[in-house]
Structures are given as structure tokens and as C-alpha cells.
Amino acid sequence: MARRPIIAHLVSALFLLTLWVGGGPAQAQDEALKFVTVERPPFAMGTEAQTGFSIDLMRMMADHIGREVRFETAGSFSEMLEQVAQGAADGAIANISITAAREAQMDFTLPVFESGLQLMVSGSDRTPLWQQVFTRDIAIYLGVAIAMLCAAGFFMWLFERRHQPYFEKPAREAFFPSFWWALNLVVNGGFEERQPRSIPGRLLATVMVFSSLFVVSIFVAKITAAITVNELTSSVTSLNDLDSRAVGSVAGSTASDFLDARAVAHSAYPGFAEMIAAFEAEEVSVVVFDAPLLRYYLSQHRDGEAYLVDTVFRREDYGIALPTGSPLRERLNQALLQLQEDGQYNALVRKWFGG
């Protein structure tokens, strides 16, 4: 009879233990997910009321798996990833490129956005048109041409001063009218009523008419060549054009690693905001970074003259970073696929990036 109370107590203890163990996951299931992010417009913005493409997407995915999510803004991109690698957060989301080095330290979901690296060039890096036209070579050519016209006008005055009233003036008074006559002969074919009357004057005019064809052609060719050469040397179309320019990127980013791998000297700034501040202050004339962020920046600063080089130099995929072995990975992947299939993902892309 004494065994029954002992057995009853054991059964009760086992029942309570079962309830306690079973309640653990349920309690964890009810806790809000902690995700870290970083200021990267338009993917993540704001420290209090976070918003952006990545933030909205994570909220949609968390809602799909029946979990709440709260966001904390890290001080830097590396700090955000470090929290995930150490398991101090359930995950991280922003514009996180999926790389082999990061995959070795943490897990990633399926890609949530396709991206790549582009160059943004300052408008002040372009040579103004007047500087393209008025080069040293063209200035020398113009000086020689004006001297030749003055000489031709002088000889025409010398030949014609006794044959027509237009040239019947002292040398000092006839200097500009003679130059003007020679200029009109080269450009317009001369004055109908002021044709040379002396034989030397007619020979000189004939030589000037034929030579003007070459003079004008050479002048046009000089200007065209100067504009073409300056356009080629001042515009940025590839990485080969960066050798003579001040280039900036973000320290520790895939863009900075990309430049290092190609031996492109550049300034590495602590974050995206610091890089943009240096670009606006003209400390650097070219920045290399994620294409979507640069496009969004230009869309918000349409009054500037900066432009993007069309070429995407390195294709990348963004993903959601998770601690290694996270049980959320499969559930978030399923949620992402479901959002893509029912059109909610495409609607979110249109909201933040247009068509």
C-alpha cells in the first residue's frame, strides 16, 4: 500500500516534466524573431521605424511562417554579419551578397534579389565642351590661320590699292578692311562687287579660294579630333579608365574586394553614407558599389550630373543571412517561393524599384 503514493508522485513529476519540456518550443515559437540590419537605401532605412525592400520582404516572410519579427540596426555591415555568425541574432537582412567566404561562416536562404556592381561617375569628371574645343593645338592653328589671313589681306591691299576704291587707304586704315576681305573670301567666296582687278590680285585670290578648301577642312578635322580625343579620355566606360581617377568604395564590401582583386587603387570608406559624402564632396570622382543602391541614389538626386556606367561588372545575389544550422532556413525558403508564386514578391519589387 505504501508504494501507491510513491508511484503517484513519480507519475505527477513525470507529467509536469513533460509539460515543461513540451512547452519550451511553444514558448520559443511565440517569441519575436530578432533580425539585424544596416542603413542601406532602398533595402533598409531608418533606425526607429525601419522600412525598405528587404525590411518589407522579411515582414511578409515572417507573417507567412506565423512569427513576429523585430529589427535592430547595427552600426556597420561587418557588425551585422558578426552578430549572425555568433548566433546573437536570428538573422540579418539588407543588401547581403551571397559569397563563398560568408557561406563558410553562416547560412543563407535562397536569393531574394539579383544585383551586381556598377560605376557611378561624377558629372564634374566630364570635360566641358569649351575645354574640348579650345585646346592648345587648335589655338595654335587659329593663330597661324589669322596670321595668314592678315598677310593675304596685306598683299591684296598692296596689289589692289591703285585699282579699286575699297583698298585706296593708307596701310594703317586698310589693315582691318583687308583682313575682312580675305576672311570673307575664304569663308564665303568674297564680295561680288570687290573682285580683284590686278593680275597679281586675281592670282592671289585664286590661290586663296583653292587653299581655303583645305584650310577649312583641316580646321573642322582639328576640332572634331580634339572633341573625340577629350571625350575618350574624360569619359569612364570600363575599369581601365579608373587608373587616373580617384575611386571610392566601402571597406569590406564585395565591391572593394573586386577592386583589390584587379589592383585598382581606391579609398575604402566605413559605410555607404560615408562613401556618398566623399563623392558629393568631390573627394572621389568614381564610386564602385552595388548597382541597386547607386540607381536609387541617382533617382533621389536627379538635379546632379552624375551618371552610371551601363556595364554591370560582377553579378551578385542577395540573400538572408542566418546562423549556421538555423531551423528557419527551410521555412523562410518556402515562404519566399510562395511569395514569388502568388505575385506578392513582384509587387514589392515594383513598389521599390519600379518596373
Is residue 306 a contact partner of residue 123, using CB atoms and an 8 Å limit?
A: yes
Quote the pLDDT of residue 314: 86
Cα(339)–Cα(344) distance, rounded to whole angstroms? 5
Domain 237-314: give its CATH superfamily: Periplasmic binding protein-like II (3.40.190.10)
Top CATH class, 129-234: mainly alpha
- Mean of pLDDT over the chain: 83
Q: What is the DSSP string of 266-280?
A: -EEESSHHHHHHHHH
Banded pLDDT at 141 (limits 50, 70, 90): confident
Quote the pLDDT of residue 123: 74
Domain map (residue ranges) of the chain: 31-112+319-353, 129-234, 237-314
Residue 68 burial (CB count, 10 A)? 11
Q: Any residues with CB less than 8 A from the CB of 190 and at least 6 apart, and which? A: 181, 184, 205, 209
Cα(329)–Cα(52) distance, rounded to whole angstroms? 22
Average pLDDT of the segment spanning 260-267: 93
For 198-220, what is each residue's pLDDT tens digit?
A: 888 788 887 887 777 777 777 77
120: region left, alpha or beta (phi > 0 left; psi from -120 to 50 alpha): beta
Quote the pLDDT of residue 89: 96
Among the residue ranges 27-31, 164-168, 260-264, the one predicted with the least confidence is 27-31
Fold of 31-112+319-353: D-Maltodextrin-Binding Protein; domain 2 (3.40.190)
pTM: 0.62
Angle at 262 between CA 258 and CA 263, to 5 degrees: 115
Does 31-112+319-353 match 237-314 in CATH topology?
yes
